[in-house]
Structure 1
Amino acid sequence: MKIRVAVTLLSVLSCQSVFADDIHVPEDYFAIQGAISAANDGDRILVSGGVFYEGLSIIDKSIEIVGLDGAENTTLNASVSNSSAIVIENSAVAISGLTIKNGDAVTGGGIKSSESTVSLQDCVISDNESSNNGAGIFVDGGSMTMDDVTFTDNVSGGGGGGLYVRYATDCVLTNVSVFNNLASNGGAIYVKDLKGDIDVIDSDLSDNSAVNNGGAIYIKNSLMNIESSELTQNSANRGGGIFTYAGGNVTMQGGILQGNSAADVGGGAEIRSSTCSFTLTSFDSNIADSDCDGVGSGGAIDVVNSTVTVTDIVSCANMACGELDDFSGDAVIIEGEVGGCDVGTGACCGGSACWVMEEADCLNGGGEFLGGGSVCLVDSCEASVALGSCCVTPVCMMTTESECESAGGEYGGEAVECSEVICDATCAADINQDGSVNVDDLILVISYWGACP
């Protein structure tokens, strides 16, 4: 039933106290859209747990939608609508406790918001698709505020696998998780031409991919503030973690860029025609030229026609293919200290095989430790297996210097072939070269008795 109550709506809905209705789904209306159509400005739509197979349209309304049993138990499944799961136009909407999935549209598979004020809390945006931009959410003007929102498994044919924002006056993301999303540019987030700033606070962007640029973030002609957030294991052609272009200015305070990779330039970040700063940020094990085709540099940051300032950062094990490489391109302005990572674990070579482990465990097992924070690449251990000729008279074998010395041999040098050396016998009668002349040598001579070939 509908209950008349006096409430003060969230600031996203109204700045003044009004009388509003609570509309229950499925008690009052079986479908959420039915409740929306019946709602007046200021009403709350309270949705009980369940799966609702429909798409929603909210136009010229100020309402709140609440999943009473939380996002894990309340799902809007748009698989039957062949459109955005939720379309919002010229409205003020607060949504909480809802999973929004299986939307499929040109833009905004999960949510398409146009010139609206939208607040999301405790929501999951998953398994949505867009042929153009914003598979999870597409924001066109207005503002967007998120707290405790998860984006996962969204796929965009254009920009913004998780979130695409343009022309907005304000956008704040707090405690947001964006993982395993895919796009052409901006695997997690794509931002362009904002009228205000976008803030990313205490958030985690991981395992996202972009076919072209910006595995986690692509930003153009806008200002982004990143605070205490982690960008890890994202990948792209350029800018594995972050790609900025044409005034895509980024300020990052704290946080970490770790394990991001770019097939070309900028494993951690690719900065182009922008002004960016990183303070107390850790760059750890990011890789440029991840396909090792010889094209690419800037394991941590690559800079092109830009000003980049780093202050009191930590940088370790950033590479271009298999070579240590922090910064490339235009000079980076370094202020304060550049610290290294804790020794901890690193790559351990045993022959041509590689494992990540503690240094002590590596050395105790007879391996070669490549350094704290180092990572295992395809060819990490090739250089460590330095073979050369070794004379254990009169026999020559190809082995490492340490193994040659252990066998009491004479090492001819790294990359020196046995065909290039002559191993002189020190005792002609010591046929089996065991260091002594005895009956064993006589037996060998008898076994060879006869005409020489």
Structure 2
Amino acid sequence: MAKGFRYLDELIHGDETEIFLDSDIVLEDVEEFQYEDGINIDVDDLVIDGNGFSIDGCGKARLFYCTGENIVIRNLTLKNGFSRQNGGAIHIDEGEMTIIDSQICNNESSEDGGAIFNEDGVLNVQKSSFIGNVAGDFGGAINNWGELEISESSFETNRANNGAAVFNDSSVMKAIDSRFVANVSIKCGAIFNNDTAELTVEKSIFSRNKAQNGGALVNDESDVNIADCIFEDNNSSLDGGAIVNFSEMTIVESRFTGNKSDCNGGAIFNKKADLVIRKSLFESNESAGKGTAIYGDDCELSIAESSFSGSFDDEISLENSVYDCEDTSFDDG
């Protein structure tokens, strides 16, 4: 039989350092206003082991508000959280949280961070999935204003106006061995890296994400390093089927296949930016405008040891730009 939010609140504040749930936790009708902002985790050094159970906000309340340090959530489903502001499931306020082997699904915020809003905190996500979370503005799954590291995790069918999976603003983010699939946004289908942020993505897959601009990734006034990644079947109704870049980006040992834009840059749209590509493959990308693979405007482009499935003139379109291309193959038919 399910238990209410008050039950979990009392466990958290009962001097335990490790909590093992023995039932689902479901917001009761009489608890809605008391826990509208979530159960307050204001203690340090706490483990909440869900034991395969779930915490359900019933679409009426956030699940956790975290200011504590060294908080670990594992083997738990966090679902149906709601906030009229930020962080539908969790708001981290200068706290430190690690999420392991958990599912975060169907949470919603009216503003930013459909599942999690990380405000000047530290968030580590391992072997977890974010599914069907929605933000009214930035970050369908996560809005990050702190430190964020993601490993062996997946983001699927999340939605937002900007950054359907993650919006990384003025912060540091690293994603390793993770999957971003079928996320949908107006601007940036998966990860939006913004305003002096630092983003590193390694050994990850971006597939079937959609946006008006930047089907999978947008980088604006920030730095991005991409290594050993796959971008496949992402779609943009305007520019950049996979990526839109307005700043500095390095791509190494990655593959771009079947991405499509309805304007310019079937795989990558690069404007007033520096783009370095090494040991990468571009195959069967499409653009209704210019640059089946890459479109560049007022930019610097450096390509080496890479391969393109079409001719140079079809694959790369440059305007007012400087480029060098070494040890790279094109298929001229």
**What TM-score does the superposition give when structure 1 sets the normalisation length?**
0.62
Matched, 1:38 2:14: yes
User: 2:54 is matched with which residue: 58, 68, 75?
Assistant: 75
Consecutive unaligned residues of structure 1, counting only runs of 5 or more, are 1-24, 290-295, 342-453
Letter in 2 for 1:191: N
Letter in 1 for 2:26: F
| Contact 2:264/2:291 (8 A) holds in 1 | no
Displacement of 1:62 after TM fit? 2.7
In the other structure, the counterpart of 2:271 is 304
In the other structure, the counterpart of 1:315 is 282
Greater Rg, structure 1 or structure 2? 1
- Hey, what's the Cα distance between the residues in 1 that align with 2:75 and 2:66? 18
User: 2:154 is matched with which residue: 158, 174, 177?
Assistant: 177
- Hey, what's the Cα distance between the residues in 2 that align with 1:83 and 1:52? 11
- Hey, what's the Cα distance between the residues in 2 that align with 1:38 and 1:108? 25
User: 2:205 is matched with which residue: 207, 214, 230?
Assistant: 230
Matched, 1:265 2:239: yes
- Hey, what's the Cα distance between the residues in 1 that align with 2:22 and 2:43? 25
| CA offset digits 1:3-34 (Å, max 9, x no partner) | xxxxxxxxxxxxxxxxxxxxxx97xx982112
Matched, 1:337 2:312: no
CA RMSD, aligned part only?
2.1
- Hey, what's the Cα distance between the residues in 1 that align with 2:131 and 2:301? 34
In the other structure, the counterpart of 2:115 is 136
* Total equivalences in the alignment: 296
- Hey, what's the Cα distance between the residues in 2 that align with 1:208 and 1:276? 22
**What TM-score does the superposition give when structure 2 sets the normalisation length?**
0.84
Displacement of 1:163 after TM fit? 0.9
User: 2:261 is matched with which residue: 284, 288, 296?
Assistant: 288
- Hey, what's the Cα distance between the residues in 1 that align with 2:300 and 2:248? 13
| Contact 2:273/2:300 (8 A) holds in 1 | no
- Hey, what's the Cα distance between the residues in 1 that align with 2:46 and 2:306? 50
Displacement of 1:339 after TM fit? 4.9
Displacement of 1:51 after TM fit? 4.5
In the other structure, the counterpart of 1:350 is none
Q: State the secondary structure of the residue aligned to 1:252.
A: strand
Displacement of 1:258 after TM fit? 0.7
Matched, 1:66 2:49: yes
- Hey, what's the Cα distance between the residues in 2 that align with 1:49 and 1:252? 42
| Contact 2:50/2:74 (8 A) holds in 1 | yes
User: 2:132 is matched with which residue: 146, 153, 163?
Assistant: 153
In the other structure, the counterpart of 1:349 is none
User: 1:276 is matched with which residue: 249, 271, 287?
Assistant: 249
| Contact 1:318/1:324 (8 A) holds in 2 | no
Displacement of 1:331 after TM fit? 4.8
| Contact 1:39/1:63 (8 A) holds in 2 | no
- Hey, what's the Cα distance between the residues in 2 that align with 1:324 and 1:271? 14
User: 2:230 is matched with which residue: 256, 262, 272?
Assistant: 256
User: 1:97 is matched with which residue: 69, 72, 75?
Assistant: 75
| CA offset digits 1:318-348 (Å, max 9, x no partner) | 111388711112353101122549xxxxxxx
Matched, 1:198 2:173: yes
Identity %: 24
| Contact 1:58/1:91 (8 A) holds in 2 | no
- Hey, what's the Cα distance between the residues in 2 that align with 1:102 and 1:286? 33
- Hey, what's the Cα distance between the residues in 1 that align with 2:66 and 2:254? 37
State the structure with bigger RCO (CA 8 A, min sep 6), 1 or 2. 2
- Hey, what's the Cα distance between the residues in 2 that align with 1:62 and 1:207? 36
- Hey, what's the Cα distance between the residues in 2 that align with 1:59 and 1:243? 35
| Contact 1:312/1:339 (8 A) holds in 2 | no
